[in-house]
Amino acid sequence: MTRATILHVDLDAFFAAVEQRDRPELRGKPVVVGGGGPGDRGVVSAASYEARAFGVHSAMPLRTAAALCPSAVFLPVDGRKYSAASRQVMAILRRFTPRVEQVSIDEAFLDVAGSEALFGEPAEIAVAIKAAIRAELGLTASVGVATSKLVAKVASDLRKPDGLVVVAPGEEAAFLAPLPIQRLWGVGEKTRLSLAEVGVRLIGDLAVVPDDLLRRRFGVNGPVLAARARGIDPSPVEGGHEAKSVSHEHTFDVDTADWEVIERTLLALAEGVAGRLRAGGVRATTIAVKVRDSSFATHTRQRTLPEPTDLTDPIWRTAVDLVRPQVRGIHVRLLGVAARGLTHGEQVTLFPADDERRRRAVEAMDAVRHRYGSRALTRARLLEGRIAEPFERDFSHAPEARRVGKPRPPDVGGRGS
Residues with Cβ within 8 Å of residue 139, at least 6 apart in sequence: 11, 12, 14, 17, 18, 21, 85, 89, 133
Residue type present at position 337: V
- H-helix segments, 27-181: 49-52, 62-68, 79-96, 116-119, 122-137, 149-156, 172-176
Identify whether 107 is a catalytic site residue: yes
Among 19, 101, 107, 392, the active-site one is 107
Q: Is 133 exposed, middle or buried (0-12, 13-18, 19+ CB in 10 A)?
A: buried
Asked if residues 295 and 274 have their Cβ atoms less than 8 Å apart, the reply is: no
Q: Is 199 exposed, middle or buried (0-12, 13-18, 19+ CB in 10 A)?
A: exposed
DSSP strand pairing (31-33 vs 73-75): parallel
DSSP strand pairing (141-146 vs 164-166): parallel
How far apart (Å, rounded) are the C-alpha atoms in residues 284 and 282?
7
How far apart (Å, rounded) are the C-alpha atoms in residues 129 and 167?
18
Asked if residues 228 and 184 have their Cβ atoms less than 8 Å apart, the reply is: yes
- H-helix segments, 157-188: 172-176
Asked if residues 14 and 57 have their Cβ atoms less than 8 Å apart, the reply is: no
CA-closest candidate to residue 416, choices 83, 93, 99, 8: 83
Asked if residues 38 and 66 have their Cβ atoms less than 8 Å apart, the reply is: yes
How far apart (Å, rounded) are the C-alpha atoms in residues 417 and 410?
19
Give the CA distances from residue 12 to residues 15, 30, 48, 92, 161, in Å, rounded to whole numbers and listed in that order.
9, 14, 9, 16, 6
The count of residues in the chain is 417
State the catalytic residues. Answer: 107
